[in-house]
Structure 1
Amino acid sequence: MKCLVVDEMHDSLAPMLAAIGWECVYQPKITRAEIIDIIPDYDGLIIRSKTRVDRELVGHANKLKFVGRAGAGIDNLDEAVLKILNIRVLNAPEGNRNAVAEHTVGLALALLNNLTIANEQVRQGVWDREGNRGMELASQTVGLLGYGFMGTAVAKKLTALGCKVLVYDKYKRTTDNGLVSSVEMDQIFEEADIFSIHVPLTPETRNMIDLNYLNQFKKSVVIINTARGEVLQLEGLLEAMKLGKVRSAGLDVLENEKLNNLTENQQMTFSKLIKSSKIILTPHVAGWSLESYKRINEVLAEKIDAEINVNN
């Protein structure tokens, strides 16, 4: 069986697929038109985030058994169409959940301890110890929105560091042996010092966190987003910071990550983001560690073998 890989992947993928009986055809520079032209010849397709998988792309892929998403989010897949065509969706959140968790904790530590501000000041000859007095993460109550693979991994690290962790997940309740508390959002709004986002991008979550949402926090809260940029409205975030409802933010994702192709409003918002010393920005790399790059391949190969090979 043949698997077409249309995005950059760790070079371990081909031998992993070969070991389970699949030929890997690696074409990371392929165009969408070229994929549409040749996809009927393939039994599997592996993508990252640049390729939109819809009826146009796979409508004539009569042999296609699965689409593998090298990562967690599947918002670039038309799941309804794939279900109709009996094409399985395989993703790999197990592959980068630890990387996302470490990055999330790193952003929290950097924000609480003024690391980026202090670094810049010292480089400019300013030695301000009192102005950069930090807060200990262990003293914080952290609210997590979403408790899937990413939220669970973050919670484990935070509880190990001594945080009180409150979790709201509309579709899942947990006790995790008493280490975290599954609560309603009202309690997170009341108690959270830090609020970290770990939900997928869906019609339900798109633009969910706006100014009205942020205004419900009782404390001036730290916001961290390592999920999807479109979940958090950046104009609302900036306004909430101006009002004192949000004291700082760590953003690994943005509403539009194509910085050379921003609308006029998006450019104005981005200009404000980069001027704020209370915001740390990273380029969607939370799950992009050296270790996760390979581990994602391992997870996909394991799932192809367990869920596709056994049925053929």
Structure 2
Amino acid sequence: MKILIIDEMHPSIVEMLEMDGHQVTYSPKITRSEILEQVAAYDGLIIRSKTPMDRELLEKAINLKFIGRAGAGLDQIDLDYLVERRVKLFHAAKGNRDAVAEHAVGGLLALFNNIIKADGEVRKGIWDREGNRGHELMGKTVGIMGYGNMGKSFAKRLSGFGVKVLAYDKYKLEFGNELVQEVMWEKVKVEADILSIHVPLTPETRNFFTLDELESFAKPFWLINTARGEVISFATLNAALDRGILRGAVLDVMENEKFQKFSPEQKTEFEKLAARSNVIFSPHVAGWTFESYEKINKVLVKKIKKAFED
């Protein structure tokens, strides 16, 4: 098949696809207008998240047999139209699940032990032991919302910390095991000391975490979000932190990840959030390791080969 790669990928993917007999065009700098002009000639597209796979683009892809998403999120893809066209969709959540899980644990430990704050103070000659007294993870109850590849991998990483792990997934059943207790959402809200979000962005999850939803938790808790920023707004985070509903947050994702496109309200709320020592940010890199960069290729190529081997 003729395959067009429109985003930066680990270079190994070209050789891997060519070894399976495909003709590959690697064009990571290609613009949307250029894709629209060229896409009709290709059987497959491999993408990240730079260019939305909307109906306008997909209608031009008259020979398209598959899209390979180098990552987990599918929110920028017109899934209904792919079904209508019978275009196969592959994504590579298994390729970066370990990276996301490790990042979530690392962020949580950094937050609990004031690592960022303490490091900054020591570099300035401030030796404040009491002001940087931390919390232990041992004995806490960790709630997981969404028990797919990422949630499951996160639960596995927690197994040595002496925590109780509760997981809720609206679309999965009977996944409880020795690592995790499958529960209803209400039980997570009653017991969780920590909540880690591992859900995709859908109309159902967008802005799911309103202030009312957070207030319905039985006790103050720490929040980890390595999923999608749009599930909770800057304003909601600030209000919950101000009221003591949230004790702190680890945020790898934000409701708007383009600083230059912040609305005036987003700018004000983000600046307030950024001034807090109990909030840790990272630039959507939880799944962005050197190892996952290559693992994603292997997962995608394996799925493509299996789907079309007949």
TM-score bin, normalised by smaller chain: over 0.9
> Superposition RMSD on alpha carbons, in Å?
1.1
The 5 Å alignment of 1:28-43 reads: 28-43=28-43
Q: Greater CA deviation, 121-130 or 202-211?
A: 121-130
| 1:310 paired residue number | 309
Q: TM-score, normalised by structure 2?
A: 0.98
1:175–1:35 CA distance, 2 compared to 1 (3 A): closer
Cα distance in 1, alignment partners of residues 251 and 46 from structure 2:
27
Aligned residues: 310
Q: How does 1:160-309 map to 2 (within 5 A)?
A: 160-307=160-307, 309=308
Q: Residue 147 of structure 2 aligns to which amino acid in structure 1?
A: Y
Distance 2:70 2:246 in 1: 33
Runs (4+) of structure 1 exceeding 4 A deviation are none
Query: Counterpart of 1:69 in structure 2: which amino acid?
Result: R
What does the per-residue CA deviation read over 1:113-157, in whole Å, with 9 as the maximum and x for residues that have no partner?
Answer: 111111112122221212212122122110000000000000001
SS at match of 2:29: coil
Q: 1:289 is matched by which residue type in structure 2?
A: T
Rounded Cα–Cα distance in structure 1 between residues aligned with 2:274 and 2:233 = 16
The DSSP-based 3-state class of the residue aligned with 1:143 is strand
SS of the equivalent of 1:239 reads helix
Match of 1:88 in 2: 88
Q: Residues 174 and 181 of structure 1 are in contact (CA less than 8 Å); yes or no, is this contact kept in structure 2? A: no
Quote the offset at 1:182 in angstroms. 0.7
How far apart are 1:175 and its partner, in Å? Answer: 4.4
Does the CA contact (< 8 Å) of 2:176 and 2:182 recur in 1?
A: no
Provide the rounded CA distance (Å) in 2 between the counterparts of 1:136 and 1:118: 16
Question: Does structure 1 residue 138 correspond to structure 2 residue 176?
Answer: no
- SS of equivalent residue, structure 1 residue 173: coil
Normalised by the size of structure 1, how large is the TM-score? Answer: 0.97
Per-residue deviation, 1:162: 1.9
Between the aligned partners of 1:220 and 1:177, the Cα distance in structure 2 is 27
- Of 298-307 and 15-24, deviating more is 15-24
Aligned partner of residue 139 in structure 1, secondary structure: coil
> 1:8 and 1:303 mapped to 2: Cα distance?
19
What residue number does 1:61 align with? 61
**Distance apart, 1:68 and its partner CA:** 0.7
Sequence identity (%): 52
Shift of 1:293: 0.4
After TM superposition, the structure 1 stretch with the greater mean CA deviation from structure 2, 206-215 or 158-167, is: 158-167
CA contact (8 A) 2:95 2:292 kept: yes
Q: Gaps (5+ residues) in structure 1?
A: none
